[in-house]
Structure 1
């Protein structure tokens, strides 16, 4: 006999009866009973697979944390509060009227933060001339510092080239 399950059934056949006719009738029941029993070898394999899966999951989580740590190295998390002032980066896709020329400024502001939707999205107090949704991703915002506002903006009508603290001789 080359079929292993049939060999096992033949081993159990001495429990049934010596009559060949009853043995053939009981063969499916004995085979079913044998296949439904829990074997120690099956438990070991199932435990091995379970442990292997757990180790793989832990390794994936550990590697994901390492990748995130490496990717976030040097990044600073920007969190704005309602009432803060921010500069807005105007992307061409969102502000086509304000970014139709490469010589126009890429940012505008400062704007007042009205609401913090989550750590990644903020609602700004925009004038009506922009005609866009006032909710922006944090990547489009940068903190406004009054000291940094000393730069000359060539598109202002009056300009701000004069340094009030500079005294001429």
Structure 2
């Protein structure tokens, strides 16, 4: 928004920041259906700021204003809850639950940000392993028995783990000491 406002004068951004903030807070939000300004100040913003000291008084109109404000806040909360549920449903439609047990063998996806600088290769393997699961932290995180020379923490999100399916019925066991660190894909 600031880029659009400053255009050819990027050094004037600090002078236009308040205008950008006012414009942003005046626009209706997709989740709440109303503007942040309306939620906080209970009315649509004026184009010129009026600052006035209100006297202490007990009036029926003030009570009605409080009731309207309370009702509006409840409606906003309900809209936010509905919106969050819709976002969650959309995100959950792409998820699949995977539960691993300690001792189970998995393949690990090592992302670039997890590896020490200079060890990531675009052409290297994306999944390495077989590594046994040492401990389940929760349904979303596991501690893997990685060799110390991998240089990455051993806690992984479930999205970075793939179950290992052996090609035959023979039992497969593997420990961290026998793992080959060259499988990371050094350049």
Q: Displacement, 1:64?
A: 1.1
In the alignment, what sits opposite 1:56? 76
- Partner SS, residue 90 of structure 2: helix
Which of residues 104, 116, 133 is equivalent to 2:136?
Answer: 116
- Partner SS, residue 112 of structure 2: coil
* Max Rg structure: 1
- Partner SS, residue 70 of structure 1: helix
User: After superposition, where does 1:122-133 map in structure 2 within 5 Å?
Assistant: 122-133=142-153
Contact 1:91/1:99 (<8 A) preserved:
no
What is the TM-score when the length of structure 1 is the normalising length? 0.58
What CA deviation, in whole Å up to 9, does each residue of 1:72-123 have, x standing for no partner? 2132022323222211012233235895444432211121111122333211
Contact 1:112/1:124 (<8 A) preserved:
yes
- Partner SS, residue 82 of structure 1: coil
Q: Distance in 2 between matches of 1:56 and 1:79?
A: 37
Deviates more, 1:96-105 or 1:61-70: 96-105
Structure 2 runs not aligned, ≥5 long: 1-54, 169-179, 181-187
- Partner SS, residue 63 of structure 1: helix
Is it true that 1:139 corresponds to 2:139 in the alignment? no
Count of residue pairs brought into register by the alignment: 115
In the alignment, what sits opposite 2:50? none
In the alignment, what sits opposite 1:73? 93
In the alignment, what sits opposite 1:104? 124
Q: Distance in 2 between matches of 1:78 and 1:136?
A: 13
Q: Distance in 2 between matches of 1:128 and 1:45?
A: 64
Q: Which has the higher contact order (CA 8 A, sep 6+)?
A: 2
